[in-house]
């Protein structure tokens, strides 16, 4: 299978690899997928409680190159967004940005699920009281 240059770039130079403290009240952790399905993504966001803006995002992914690229790209997209803006990210944006072929679309879906799971975890920690999205534009 031929990979797009963007997938190769993220695979060779993954952005924001790592882990943050799961018990930090400002960190939301999402883990989606299953080993027997061949992909597991762990995505974490660190939210500034004052502004509701995602200040940091980290990932670790077990999966094919497209899954790694999808989650790497997701962390880039998340940084600087508000929690609600993050929830609005669609997998199709990842598909377009990485030029994923049809058999790899599930990787982008998984990345979207990981984003939602991480935000949901953060919201749970803060008692579902998420600061209203501060319009940035």
Binding site for another protein (CB under 8 A): 1, 3, 8, 11, 14, 17, 19, 31-42, 60-68, 103, 106, 109-110, 113, 117
- Minimum CB separation of residue 37 from another protein in Å reads 6
Task: Give the active site residue among 7, 107, 117, 119.
Answer: 107
Task: Give the active site residue among 12, 21, 37, 51.
Answer: 37
- Minimum CB separation of residue 18 from another protein in Å reads 9
Whether 117 contacts 40, CB under 8 Å: no
DSSP structure string for 72-106 = HHHHHHHTT-BHHHHHT--HHHHHHHHT--GGGHH
- Minimum CB separation of residue 39 from another protein in Å reads 7
Locate 82 and state its tokens. 């508000």
DSSP-assigned letter for residue 17: B
Q: Is 64 a catalytic residue?
A: no
Q: 39 or 85, CB closer to another protein?
A: 39
> Rounded to the nearest 10 degrees, what angle do helices 91-98 and 105-125 cross at?
140
């Amino acid at each position: 299978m031929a990979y797009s240059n963007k997938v190769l770039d993220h695979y060779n130079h993954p952005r924001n690899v790592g882990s943050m403290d799961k018990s930090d009240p400002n960190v939301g952790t999402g883990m989606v997928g299953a080993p027997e399905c061949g992909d597991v993504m762990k995505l974490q966001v660190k939210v500034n409680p004052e502004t509701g803006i995602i200040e940091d995002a980290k990932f670790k992914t077990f999966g094919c190159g497209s899954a790694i690229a999808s989650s790497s790209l997701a962390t880039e997209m998340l940084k600087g967004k508000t929690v609600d803006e993050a929830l609005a990210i669609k997998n199709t944006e990842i598909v377009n940005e990485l030029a994923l072929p049809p058999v790899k679309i599930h990787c982008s879906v998984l990345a979207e699920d990981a984003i939602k799971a991480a935000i949901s975890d953060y919201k749970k920690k803060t008692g579902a009281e998420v600061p209203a999205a501060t319009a940035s534009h």
